[in-house]
Structure 1
Amino acid sequence: MFLAWLAEQATGPDVMVERRVHGLVPLTGHSALTASWMLAEQLGSAARTPGDLIAAMAADRRRTVVVLPDLHHAAAPDAIEELIGALARFKQVRLIVETREVSAGLLALAPAVMDLEAAQWRDEERYAVWAASAPSAESDALPGSKPATPDLDDPSSVCRAEPLQVTALYELSADAHGGVRAAWLRAGGALTRPCPPAERALVLLAALGDDADPRLASELQKLTDGAGWTVHWKRTRGDINPPWPGPALALGIGVGKTSGSVAVIDHQGIVRLIESEDGRAQSRLPQVVPGASAVTFRRDGDMAVLDGRGHLTLQQSPTVPPSTGLSSLLETEAKPLGQLLAAVEESATAVACVGDGLAWGNGAGSVQVAMLDGDMVGVTREALHKGAVTGVTGLELPEGAMLIYSGGQDGRVRVWAPHRAPMTRALRERDCGVTALSAAQTPHGPVLVIGWEDGLVEYSAVEAEPAGRFFRPGAPVRSVAALENGNLIVGTDEMLVCLTPC
């Protein structure tokens, strides 16, 4: 009751910064894994393990207050105590923990202990009235109050069951359960957050490996009715046929001569090309690009890859045959994309080809666009973000005009037309950073896709209100790609999934 009152008083919109509570996780029924998932969601992170959460909070230097009631009712209190001990080491983190017994491990953290049974914290008469009416510890669990145990082999059962219970059972189980267990634990917090069974089925299907029981995919597909998406194709870590292309740190969509190709950058700087229609492998760049973090295509088949130093390198798509004979002799050494890349005189943080132009962002929050005018290159610059630009994309408009979209660490998505003043307000704004952006002209109109740091993917029509379609893969979203047919590709460290809106 006391912590519930504290959280209520400290989470309102007008609460002073010094008194604000940032995270509240009632620990009843939680393991360290599920508590980490819930806390990560509240703190704007997509952490998938206690270790991920610890690393994310270590990197965030902002003051963070977390309230953790009912440690004594947790499913795995010892593991949660280890998590508490790790978080308590950070100077910027304050933890308020409720427990009936203070263990030696908690005492070793030298906490300030408030014993609510001590006389100074209660009115004896009111306490006596409460004690007489309060249920005993033995009666806390009423007969029949425990939810029925779900069938862990049945997708319908686990999608409709209490998700914390399902996660706890899968954590304790040594059985693969046809592949559902691995998919559930891979998808993480996207399954334990409040959502209808159809959305859970969609997330599970996207995370299902090719080693799973082949009947499960069709069963899950039937359960996704009403989720707003269908899974067109998918690849997960460990898939063999077709093979998983590796962590999808960045995606690039082929246009013109490379239409139908998708470039996928992995953690080693390998750039692979796959078919957008079915995810099959096409080819790869012959050379590794160390620290590669972005890739973009120009209509003529040339590519630009952003390396770990912020430099842009010119590449030729291996899916486009090299020119031969007379045409090769007529080619000039200065390719259009090469001329545009030469105009980038700073370390870039994001890049995109838009029509005949090249757009890029830097670590100071500026976005620039380079255009060819004969043999000259003109550059337009606009300061749009506080902090680094983390994503750039654009739409080509009639008569060579364009719209440039940018996302940043500041949690803002801005839109801007070169040579015109940008909109004064952000197109989208949230309390977490943007991880990826993509835009496309589709048969139903232009769409914009945003990947957010907390694991949310937002897909919306450019000309509509902000409300759109959403998807959470359960892992940090590294990359997104809007396709011209209206499909969406989402990349994480664990999977690559192509979704069709429905």
Structure 2
Amino acid sequence: MMRWDRPAGGREPAAAALLGWLSDAQAPRVCLVSGSEDCGKSALLAWLVHHGSRPGGLAERTVHAVVPPSPDESVLGTVWSIADQLGVVARGPWELVPVLAADGRRTVIVLPDVRGEAVAELVLALADVPGIRLVIESRSGSPAHRLLSGSGCAELDLDLEQWRDERRLAQWQASQTSQHVGAGLPEPGAVVDLWDPVAVCRADASTVTAAYERARSGEYGGLREAWLRAGQSLCRDGESASRALTLLAALGDGADPRLASALVEAAEGSGWCWEWSRVSGDLVPPWPGPVSALAVGEGPLKGAVLVTGPGGSVRVVRVGDGGARGRIVVGGFQPQSVSVMADGTVLVLDEGGRVHADGSWVARPAGSGIARLLDEGPTGREVLLAALRGQVGTAIACAAGPDLGMVVFGDAAGGVRAFGDWEGAAVLHRGGVTAVAALGMPVGSEGVVPLVYSGGADGTVRAWSPGHAPMAVPLAERDCAVVSVDAAMTPSGPVLAVAWGDGVVEWIEVDSGARRTFRPGPPVRAVVLAPDGRLVVGMDEYLVCLTPRPPAQPALGGVQKGP
């Protein structure tokens, strides 16, 4: 068992009480460590974090998230820090609280030097979540202390003599050493020009976040709104080119046009080229609305991306510039997944997992109405659609084939099932399938080989070809659920795009295994890949299109340059 050192300054009684609180299932969910300035609050929390963050300790003493102290206290900065450390995505308290409540696991969060009422109110909201324990440092008499101390929390007032062992204090002072002295608050950072996109990309993220949080809506030419949309990613990634790309993706069309130009230049060192964004409030072209699912168009819908959302319709936008191309009304339900067959038939899953087909974009067959009536029996398309209507799924995908193509369903039991030109079924996941993609892979003289990629709640992406055993090893695996998967044959070969539950989007070249990532900031709802290599990422507030930036090529004399 891991050994814990003694706390500094004779604080053994307080440390014992803190550990006792952590192990007591009936104790209040908040422990408030209070006292006057320089009484040892920070040192006690540093001791807890130092030991509680190490592997191999008791589960009840494990610390899962620590918000770094900052002279610029910010509710959003606190939310984003907690969410990032816990592997979830939250734009604000209104998302963090339900996300942690849905998780349900025991989680210990440490917040040093809480001063204001706003962060204290966040603490109280989190304390209502079963399984959450919060250790809060706050100076006695501060607004935060006044609010929390009256909330029924457990309080360790380090100004009280009972929380210090004088003999141990004397021994500690005589030793003149301490491994756990609190560092206190960092000094305030340099003043940042909040109108300058390059400056904010290089500045301390907590300083920028706090300043924009205090500012009024509409200030700073649209830069403030973009920062607050993408803040969790911006506070995580300190690389200025990646920050510039993230800000650019979240910038609305009402922003000062000089901002986009400056951010495009600043983002040149990132791994992606920004193509376009459509942000909530955009008018020309209009924002297509919140995204629940995406699909790349086929047949008469080629060159388009289909966007489904809570409005019960499917919006069709051009993949080249995000402009509006049309709209499909699918009925009075909330679309959960969407895909397009080779002839342009749009397949949509409703909330119950039932498929609805729309053929309004499909070319009409030649011949007179009488001739069609005299045809014997239903068409192959009609037979396939009838078979699909009897299925219940959690996700749907289509791929072109020699005739009708292939339609794939994922289900709540971890299985996938293929219909059409290739048929079969396999169980690929422990738990439900959350996303599927299908691809017809050209393979030499064999023609086309069908490939199915599926993502699950178990945090894996797996591959399967109907008629064969699934690949034994996942193509990708992480400690969070897969949200969306797509696959395409691009100029660089077969590529997978995967959106994960912690807000990361991965681009994976199947042949080489090469990967690159994009983290937009908000929760990602869906991703799709166009055959030309464009990646479209859909979220509640915006839609962004990117292409991977080609790697720099070596030139004569060792100088690096782009192709």
**TM-score, structure 2 as length reference:** 0.81
Q: Deviations over 1:20-66 (max 9, x none)?
A: 32222124233111100111112221110111101111222222221
Cross-structure match for 1:187: 230
Q: CA deviation at 1:219?
A: 0.9
Q: CA deviation at 1:140?
A: 6.4
Q: Deviations over 1:343-373 (max 9, x none)?
A: 464421100012311111111211111234x
Question: What SS class does the counterpart of residue 245 from structure 1 fall into?
Answer: coil
Cross-structure match for 2:475: 427
2:414 is aligned with 1:365:
yes
Q: Deviations over 1:444-484 (max 9, x none)?
A: 1111001111111111101223x511111111000101111
Cross-structure match for 1:80: 119
2:240 is aligned with 1:240:
no
Cross-structure match for 1:216: 259
Measure the CA separation in 2 of the matches of 1:329 and 1:497.
47
Q: Which of 505, 516, 527 is 1:480 aligned to?
A: 527
2:53 is aligned with 1:11:
yes
Deviates more, 1:270-279 or 1:106-115: 106-115
Contact kept in structure 1, 2:488 and 2:496, CA below 8 Å: yes
Aligned runs of 1:45-60 on 2, under 5 Å?
A: 45-60=88-103
Cross-structure match for 2:17: none
Cross-structure match for 1:385: 429
Aligned runs of 1:79-158 on 2, under 5 Å?
A: 79-101=118-140, 103-116=145-158, 118-122=161-165, 123-128=168-173, 145-158=187-200
- Greater Rg over alpha carbons, structure: 2
Cross-structure match for 1:375: none
Q: Deviations over 1:281-339 (max 9, x none)?
A: 11111343511011111111112111111100111153x44345449955874452751
Aligned runs of 1:71-470 on 2, under 5 Å?
A: 71-72=114-115, 77-101=116-140, 103-116=145-158, 118-122=161-165, 123-128=168-173, 145-174=187-216, 176-318=219-361, 320-323=362-365, 325-326=367-368, 329-330=371-372, 333-336=378-381, 339-340=384-385, 342-343=387-388, 345-355=390-400, 356-372=405-421, 379-397=423-441, 398=443, 399-465=447-513, 467-470=514-517
Q: What amino acid sits opposite 2:336 in the alignment?
A: S
Measure the CA separation in 1 of the matches of 2:223 and 2:477.
35
Q: Deviations over 1:395-434 (max 9, x none)?
A: 2123342221111112111111222222223221212111
Q: CA deviation at 1:119?
A: 4.9
2:40 is aligned with 1:40:
no
Contact kept in structure 1, 2:97 and 2:129, CA below 8 Å: no
Question: What SS class does the counterpart of residue 348 from structure 1 fall into?
Answer: coil
Contact kept in structure 1, 2:330 and 2:358, CA below 8 Å: no
Contact kept in structure 1, 2:357 and 2:385, CA below 8 Å: no
Cross-structure match for 2:113: 70
Question: What SS class does the counterpart of residue 268 from structure 2 fall into?
Answer: coil
Measure the CA separation in 1 of the matches of 2:107 and 2:386.
42
Question: What SS class does the counterpart of residue 281 from structure 2 fall into?
Answer: coil
Measure the CA separation in 2 of the matches of 1:68 and 1:475.
23
Question: What RMSD, in angstroms, separates the aligned Cα atoms of the two structures?
Answer: 2.6
Measure the CA separation in 2 of the matches of 1:82 and 1:221.
38
Contact kept in structure 1, 2:101 and 2:130, CA below 8 Å: no
Consecutive unaligned residues in structure 1, runs of 5 or more: 373-377
Measure the CA separation in 1 of the matches of 2:522 and 2:490.
27
Q: 1:131 to 1:14 in 2, by over 3 A?
A: closer
Measure the CA separation in 2 of the matches of 1:488 and 1:337.
32
Deviates more, 1:173-182 or 1:357-366: 173-182
Q: CA deviation at 1:186?
A: 1.3
Contact kept in structure 1, 2:88 and 2:501, CA below 8 Å: yes
Question: What SS class does the counterpart of residue 113 from structure 1 fall into?
Answer: strand
Deviates more, 1:102-111 or 1:347-356: 102-111
Measure the CA separation in 1 of the matches of 2:74 and 2:494.
43
Q: Which of 488, 492, 497 is 2:544 aligned to?
A: 497
Measure the CA separation in 2 of the matches of 1:96 and 1:394.
48
Measure the CA separation in 2 of the matches of 1:322 and 1:130.
89
Measure the CA separation in 2 of the matches of 1:470 and 1:200.
13
Consecutive unaligned residues in structure 2, runs of 5 or more: 1-42, 550-563
Q: What amino acid sits opposite 2:94 in the alignment?
A: G
Contact kept in structure 2, 1:432 and 1:452, CA below 8 Å: yes
Measure the CA separation in 1 of the matches of 2:185 and 2:484.
46
Q: 1:317 to 1:294 in 2, by over 3 A?
A: farther
Q: CA deviation at 1:168?
A: 0.9
Cross-structure match for 1:471: 518
Contact kept in structure 2, 1:270 and 1:287, CA below 8 Å: yes
Q: Which of 14, 20, 27 is 2:62 aligned to?
A: 20
Question: What SS class does the counterpart of residue 178 from structure 1 fall into?
Answer: helix
Contact kept in structure 1, 2:337 and 2:349, CA below 8 Å: yes
Contact kept in structure 2, 1:340 and 1:370, CA below 8 Å: no
Q: What amino acid sits opposite 1:342 in the alignment?
A: A
Q: 1:245 to 1:185 in 2, by over 3 A?
A: same
Q: 1:343 to 1:274 in 2, by over 3 A?
A: closer
Q: CA deviation at 1:131?
A: 9.4
Contact kept in structure 1, 2:212 and 2:224, CA below 8 Å: yes
Cross-structure match for 2:18: none
Q: Deviations over 1:94-150 (max 9, x none)?
A: 11222232724222343333344545544221454599999x99x9679xx432211
Q: 1:420 to 1:110 in 2, by over 3 A?
A: same
Q: CA deviation at 1:490?
A: 0.3
The count of residues paired between Structure 1 and Structure 2 equals 487
Contact kept in structure 1, 2:423 and 2:467, CA below 8 Å: no
Contact kept in structure 2, 1:271 and 1:288, CA below 8 Å: no
Measure the CA separation in 1 of the matches of 2:449 and 2:178.
72
Deviates more, 1:60-69 or 1:102-111: 102-111
Q: 1:352 to 1:498 in 2, by over 3 A?
A: same
Q: What amino acid sits opposite 1:162 in the alignment?
A: D
Q: 1:411 to 1:132 in 2, by over 3 A?
A: closer
Question: What SS class does the counterpart of residue 211 from structure 1 fall into?
Answer: coil
Q: What amino acid sits opposite 1:387 in the alignment?
A: G
